[in-house]
Amino acid sequence: MFFAIRVPEKYFPELADLQGKLRGDWRSVSPMQFHLTMVFLPHVLPSEMEIVRKAGMEAASVISKFPIKLSKTSCFPNTKNPRVFVIHAESPSLEVLANEIRQRLGNVDHDVKPFRGHVTIARAKSPSVKLYEADLNIEWLAEEVELVQSVLGGKGPDHTVLERFVFGSKV
């Protein structure tokens, strides 16, 4: 489970074109799954769901709509061993939102690594992959954050939006 901001559909063709330029053994992410993970929640108990929902609702209520820019391509963990091909996301509000959610989660298990705004485009299936460098200029106004359930299957993850939290909404 995770909180995420979804990339608008109108940018799917440009990102899919970028996927097509990758060389080597990459597995492309489905365009319907292009998103920025704000906070990852590895193990949410049914008894914690109300805390999680409330964290999303309250965090969204104190955040205004904000611009996000997708810029340079990169990879994780590093260029010598690329496993995940990403596009960096820029906006000071991204880290603010991630921190607002984390503060409200209390003892619910969640990722506490430093926030690194990015959209995953592809994952390496083997070490013999080649990187493609690009500078993008994709920008949109983020208006909501979603709570997403992710279930791994034979064809990759299946994402279901459980709830949407509109920025600036009254609690």
Judge whether 115 lies within some domain. Answer: yes
Quick one: tokens of 63? 């955040």
Spatial separation of the C-alpha atoms in residues 99 and 4, rounded to whole Å: 13
Judge whether 68 lies within some domain. Answer: yes
Judge whether 139 lies within some domain. Answer: yes
Spatial separation of the C-alpha atoms in residues 6 and 110, rounded to whole Å: 20
- Buried b / exposed e along 102-111 (16+ C-beta atoms within 10 A): bebbeebebe
Judge whether 119 lies within some domain. Answer: yes
Say whether 60 sits in a helix, a strand or coil. Answer: helix
Q: Considering only residues 60 and 25, tell me which one the structure prediction assigns the higher pLDDT.
A: 60
Judge whether 171 lies within some domain. Answer: no
104, β-bridge pairs: none
Give 13-33 pLDDT, tens digit per residue.
999 999 988 888 889 999 999
Spatial separation of the C-alpha atoms in residues 148 and 158, rounded to whole Å: 10
Candidates 168, 118, 164; CA nearest to 138 is 118
Report residue 19 CA to chain centroid gap: 17
Residue whose tokens read 């989660």:
105
Considering the chain, what percentage of its residues have pLDDT values greater than 90?
A: 73
CATH number at residue 128: 3.90.1140.10
Judge whether 162 lies within some domain. Answer: yes
Query: What's the mean pLDDT in 53-66?
Result: 98
Judge whether 128 lies within some domain. Answer: yes
State how many domains the chain has. Answer: 1
Instruction: Evaluate if residue 40 carries a pLDDT over 90.
Output: yes
Domain extent at residue 125:
2-166
Candidates 112, 165, 168, 170; CA nearest to 4 is 165
Spatial separation of the C-alpha atoms in residues 46 and 25, rounded to whole Å: 38
Spatial separation of the C-alpha atoms in residues 116 and 65, rounded to whole Å: 19
